[in-house]
Amino acid sequence: MLDPHMLTMLTPLDLVALLAVVVIGLPHGALDGAVAMHLGFTHKILHFIRFLGLYVAVASAVVAAWLFAPVLTLIAFLVISIFHFGSGDARSERGWRRRFEIIAHGGLVVVGISQMHHVDVDVIFAYLVGQDTALVWQALDVMTVFVGAALIVCLFQALWHRTLRWTAIELLGLTVLFAYAPPLVGFAVYFCCVHSARHVVSILRSLRQDMPAGAMLMNAAGLTVASWAAGAAALWWFADAGSVEPVLLRVVFIGLAALTVPHMILIDGFYRQAKPSLSNAYGTR
Print the domain residue range for 83: 4-278
* Cβ(243)–Cβ(7) below 8 Å: yes
**Closest-CA residue to 32 (of 254, 260, 283, 285):** 260
| Helix boundaries (H) for 191-269 | 197-207, 213-237, 244-266
pTM of the model as a whole: 0.84
DSSP for 53-85 reads HHHHHHHHHHHHHHHHSHHHHHHHHHHHHHHHH
Q: How do the residues of the chain divide into helix, strand and coil, expressed in percent and rounded to 5?
A: 85, 0, 15
d(C-alpha 216, C-alpha 34), whole Å: 6
State residue 276's pLDDT score. Answer: 52
Total number of domains constituting the chain: 1
**DSSP type of residue 27:** G
Please indicate, yes or no, if residue 265 is contained in any of the structural domains.
Answer: yes
State residue 188's pLDDT score. Answer: 95
Please indicate, yes or no, if residue 242 is contained in any of the structural domains.
Answer: yes
Amino acid identity, residue 151? L
Please indicate, yes or no, if residue 35 is contained in any of the structural domains.
Answer: yes
Please indicate, yes or no, if residue 172 is contained in any of the structural domains.
Answer: yes
**Closest-CA residue to 107 (of 80, 132, 74, 134):** 80
Mean pLDDT in each 10-residue stretch from start to end of the chain (285 residues)?
Answer: 50 88 81 78 79 89 93 95 90 82 94 95 89 93 96 83 78 94 95 90 77 70 76 69 71 87 85 58 42
Please indicate, yes or no, if residue 284 is contained in any of the structural domains.
Answer: no
Q: Give how far Cα 39 sits from Cα of 42, 201, 204, 249, 267, Å.
A: 8, 18, 14, 34, 11
State residue 65's pLDDT score. Answer: 94
Please indicate, yes or no, if residue 285 is contained in any of the structural domains.
Answer: no
Please indicate, yes or no, if residue 123 is contained in any of the structural domains.
Answer: yes
d(C-alpha 143, C-alpha 37), whole Å: 36
Please indicate, yes or no, if residue 254 is contained in any of the structural domains.
Answer: yes
State residue 125's pLDDT score. Answer: 93
